[in-house]
Amino acid sequence: MSEGSLQTYFKRKAKQERVYWRKIKFEGQRGCPDCLIAFSGRIVLVELKRPDKKGRLSEIQKRQIKRLTDVGIEALVIDSKDEIDAILKAITTPRH
């Protein structure tokens, strides 16, 4: 499975769960996460990688994700349909 087909799956599943999903770019910045999901006030940035474990984070991606998480932004790296299903379940489950 390619990163593109994983993205298509993510987009379709998010729509089914009524989760806002967008492909994003950070103007003038390299290495930032490429998707945004949101539901009921919770926002998560997601970097998708190839599901065959060959897709690895570059050093700049690691730094960018750390910068985001250091300021309290939830940023994840996802490389499987199971992880997509898990984050969609987590984001749509009410917190208590």
pLDDT-above-90 percentage for the chain: 75
SS3 content of the chain, % helix, strand, coil (to 5): 40, 20, 40
Architecture of the 3-92 domain: 3-Layer(aba) Sandwich (3.40)
Could you write out the DSSP letters of every residue in 62-91?
HHHHHHHHHTT-EEEEE-SHHHHHHHHHHH
| Domain coordinates in residue numbering, the chain | 3-92
Specify the pLDDT at position 3: 82
For range 38-63, the mean pLDDT: 88
Specify the pLDDT at position 54: 66
Handedness of CA 22, 85, 76, 70 (dihedral sign): positive
Average pLDDT, the chain: 92
What angle in degrees, to the nearest 10, is found between the helix axes of 81-92 and 3-16? 30
For range 23-39, the mean pLDDT: 93
pTM of the predicted model over 0.85: yes
